[in-house]
Structure 1
């Protein structure tokens, strides 16, 4: 039995991904998929820890409880299928390795199905986008409010992902450059890139940066909620974005950083930027995301009398 799964499941999973894990066709996963799978595994592992369960003991009830967590409740059908497939692969490997005796994900895999078509990506329409930008300009009541507005402004003005915002450091935000920009270091399969800031966010981020520099916070992260300078979790980012969107009356099904990223993408496409350029701004190697967002614009145009 591979005891590393019991003592350090994170390292065991990373090692397995690098050496053996493969898809249904036995082809190795891409670098991007490996990064995504590791993040998904960590999310599920932390859920198990909170329930007092472990990699070698969790059952179908633990998986069912996972779907009811704050983050997982908003998962699309496609994301649920990805999780079930990941857990099925994991459990089959653990049974083969002697770490587990059963595979509680097998029955779920038979029941879950890919959606017939991808759901329409969530975004703010132009009026909602303008309302959120105006909301961000209002004076902040305190440090927490200022930080939250700066976080939302960063998502809305750069289109970065939650993981990229979480890793952003003070030196990455260059407000005195012409034009001002946020530097996004290379990570996983994504190359380093520079994203020019939309003008509406610059004054707010300038105030935040000046305030952040005066705070007794360890480390150099641009955004953190703790004096120790710990990175912000996806759940906290989600709550911050959700509160801002609720304040402007947004009623969409996914009040998340991804919705703001989609909004940034859509704004660039509406401004006439080529999809190739927008994909690069988002750090994407393909144009698939831009194609899906562009389809929402074309659909609206088709509805016009």
Structure 2
């Protein structure tokens, strides 16, 4: 175990410093313009998960007066052990999309630590700390990211999806069971409806514009049936179909949006003036919707809705190429994980 070099340093200050290192790393990747896997912009989904992981590591290091230059392999192994026990630095382990601390998860954590510490070393003009790199060479972690170890995607069962759709679509009436909904509550539920009914991510929801909603030419008059989405992070600009029930939900939201005189071109702004919905605000609001539907304690988070959409389309006979295009996935090999679910004939709505 490392002997702290700065025993008198305020842990809160050190933890914030480590958090800032992560933030700077994410921002660097967002503007790098690189296509290299380790340098290109992070998707919203990855950024959220990695932030949770790094913040837990930052709290652990701060409690022991360690930073990116002084942490050693033994310290990281202790952290992984505590993380696996559900307690790092006395705090509950944050959500990690339902994953346990498997060798694959440990590989992801070590890779994250390695990349952020190397980035910080480059910024400071010092030699990178090799601690995480050394651990990544161990056989227990080195092969943990092999493709055959890819976890199956979390998805909604038929019962879960029907329950969620019922909860989301009750707002077609003027009041919910607990009274009138605010315009933001309608917005939040409609955003979740498009995650399940059109395969959108929180990032897609935040950047979607009114001119990307296709109404003309659909099977039902006045009901959106297709969405055009701009490029977002690693995802290219694309079009995706909308399930009819979700299209009706979107039509309702657009009518409320107009009645509220909400400005701007964003479909889901955060304010009446049209201010963009923040990354954290969108994610937390959508998680609250799932909680309200009784799905807050179920694994997978909001991204299980996107996986459910993909499985639904594949089960209907759509090709992997079509579904990948609708999801904005460039690497068709990423669709392989869905093949391991479909042969089990799961029910998806």
Instruction: Return the alpha-carbon distance in structure 1 between the equivalents of residues 30 and 315 of structure 2.
Output: 44
Q: Structure 1 residues 108 and 237, CA, compared in 2 at 3 Å: closer, same or farther?
A: farther
State whether structure 2 residue 111 is matched by structure 1 residue 85: yes
Please give the per-residue CA displacement for 1:77-118, whole angstroms capped at 9, x wherever unaligned: 546633431331332353355456874963894588336822
Name the residue aligned to 1:156: 196
* TM-aligned CA deviation for residue 11 of structure 1: 9.0
Which runs of structure 2 are paired with 1:153-302 in the superposition (5 Å)?
153-178=193-218, 180-215=225-260, 217=262, 219-227=264-272, 229-234=275-280, 236-241=282-287, 243-244=289-290, 247-248=293-294, 252-254=298-300, 256-300=301-345
Please give the per-residue CA displacement for 1:25-60, whole angstroms capped at 9, x wherever unaligned: xxx7249x6112897499479959x98x9xx95676
State whether structure 2 residue 41 is matched by structure 1 residue 29: no
With the length of structure 1 as denominator, give the TM-score of the two structures.
Answer: 0.71
Instruction: Return the alpha-carbon distance in structure 1 between the equivalents of residues 54 and 261 of structure 2.
Output: 29
The size of the alignment, in residue pairs, is 281
Q: Structure 1 residues 273 and 93, CA, compared in 2 at 3 Å: closer, same or farther?
A: closer
Q: Which has the larger radius of gyration?
A: 2
Contact 2:191 2:268 in 1 (8 A): yes
* TM-aligned CA deviation for residue 128 of structure 1: 2.2
* TM-aligned CA deviation for residue 172 of structure 1: 1.8
DSSP 3-state at the match of 1:194: strand
Name the residue aligned to 2:28: 13
With the length of structure 2 as denominator, give the TM-score of the two structures.
Answer: 0.63
DSSP 3-state at the match of 1:182: strand
Instruction: Return the alpha-carbon distance in structure 1 between the equivalents of residues 242 and 51 of structure 2.
Output: 31
Structure 1 residue ranges without an equivalent (≥5)? 20-27
Instruction: Return the alpha-carbon distance in structure 2 between the equivalents of residues 259 and 270 of structure 1.
Output: 16
* TM-aligned CA deviation for residue 131 of structure 1: 2.5
Instruction: Return the alpha-carbon distance in structure 1 between the equivalents of residues 157 and 111 of structure 2.
Output: 34
Instruction: Return the alpha-carbon distance in structure 1 between the equivalents of residues 320 and 196 of structure 2.
Output: 18
- Match of residue 181, structure 2, among 131, 142, 147: 142
Contact 1:156 1:261 in 2 (8 A): yes
* TM-aligned CA deviation for residue 293 of structure 1: 1.9
